[in-house]
Structure 1
Amino acid sequence: MTDYKFFHPTEVRYGDLDPQGHVNNAKYLTYFEQARVYHFMKMGLFSKDQSFMEIGVIVADIHIKYRAPTHYGDNIKTGARVAKIGNKSITVEQCVMDAETGKVMASGEVILVTFDYKSMKTIPVPDEWKKKISEFEGI
């Protein structure tokens, strides 16, 4: 998990916990999403001022493997890296890990489809995105 070039610091909030005192499984989706957005901004694909009502991405498939519980107060970070660029899809590998020890709490894979919200259709991954992703990730 050390070959991630991007990590987003992640705060475990009290509201993320379930009655058993650990982070609820559904919250990892939120951690992954937040890291993906910042990862895409870091690569120059999105900006904070951009409207997502034009070209964006839609989650087509997501898998998470839970490896260890995460608790309130844990110092964690969420990694994101593009593993594959398809014709109309981007595969992102992600992990939530202890920021101090590197212990992986959860890992997963997300397949995103590029989408034109004006035409309401999937579109090829823009060449500019492919270039920026390849330069950042080294793929």
Structure 2
Amino acid sequence: MQTPDFKFYIPVEVRYSDLDPQWHVNNTRYLVYMEQARLEYLRNLGLFEGQNFLDLKMIIADVHVSYLAPIELGQQVRVGTRTAKIGTKSITFEYRIEDSGSGQLLATGEVVGVTYDYRAHATIPVPADWRAKIGAFEGVDFLN
């Protein structure tokens, strides 16, 4: 079952080390799950090969998470990722963390990544090929 607006999902294995003393997934791990989904999303679109992080061309500027229900050890979860907006030098990603079986929404998130040249230590415009590839995948015109 895929939510109409989210075309890309990855499964997440909940590990013992993800748990906090209350025996549910610690709030910081949700960000790790979203990061993994974002990297797989970019790899899936051919925007990052996963070999050298200097080639990623993105640095995170802002993060928001809404925790809606706890995640527990053994629970099967998945993370949906989509691009909501592309600015001059930024990309806004949105996330859904949900139970794989029931589809229950467990958390939502938003992350703003700024396109960045790590070698020059400077922000850069979002590359045109990124706009085109993301737009084609999402069915949105990000070129204008």
Q: CA deviation at 1:54?
A: 4.0
Matched, 1:95 2:96: yes
So what's the TM-score if we normalise by structure 2? 0.93
**Are the aligned partners of 1:64 and 1:109 in contact in 2 as well (CA < 8 Å)?**
yes
Corresponding residue pairs, total: 138
1:95 Cα offset (Å): 1.4
> Following TM superposition, where does structure 1 have runs of at least 4 consecutive aligned residues deviating by more than 2 angstroms?
none
Q: Percent same amino acid at aligned positions?
A: 50
Q: Report how far residue 52 of structure 1 moved.
A: 2.2
User: Structure 1 residue 28 and structure 2 residue 22: aligned?
Assistant: no
Deviation of residue 74 (structure 1)?
0.3
Give SS of 1:26's match. helix
Q: For the structure 1 residues 38 and 54, does the alpha-carbon distance in structure 2 shift closer, same or farther, using more than 3 Å as the test?
A: closer
Q: Which runs of 5+ in 2 are unaligned?
A: none
| CA–CA separation in structure 2 for the residues paired with 1:83 and 1:55 | 19
- How far does residue 55 in structure 1 lie from its aligned partner after superposition? 5.0
Q: Which has the higher contact order (CA 8 A, sep 6+)?
A: 1
Structure 1, residues 40-66: CA drift from partner, whole Å, max 9, x if none? Answer: 1111111133x2224511110000000
* TM-score, length of structure 1 as denominator length: 0.96
Amino acid at match of 1:138: G
| SS in structure 1 at match of 2:27 | coil
Residue 134 of structure 2 aligns with an amino acid whose one-letter code is I
Provide the rounded CA distance (Å) in 2 between the counterparts of 1:54 and 1:8.
22
Q: Which runs of 5+ in 1 are unaligned?
A: none
RMSD: 1.1
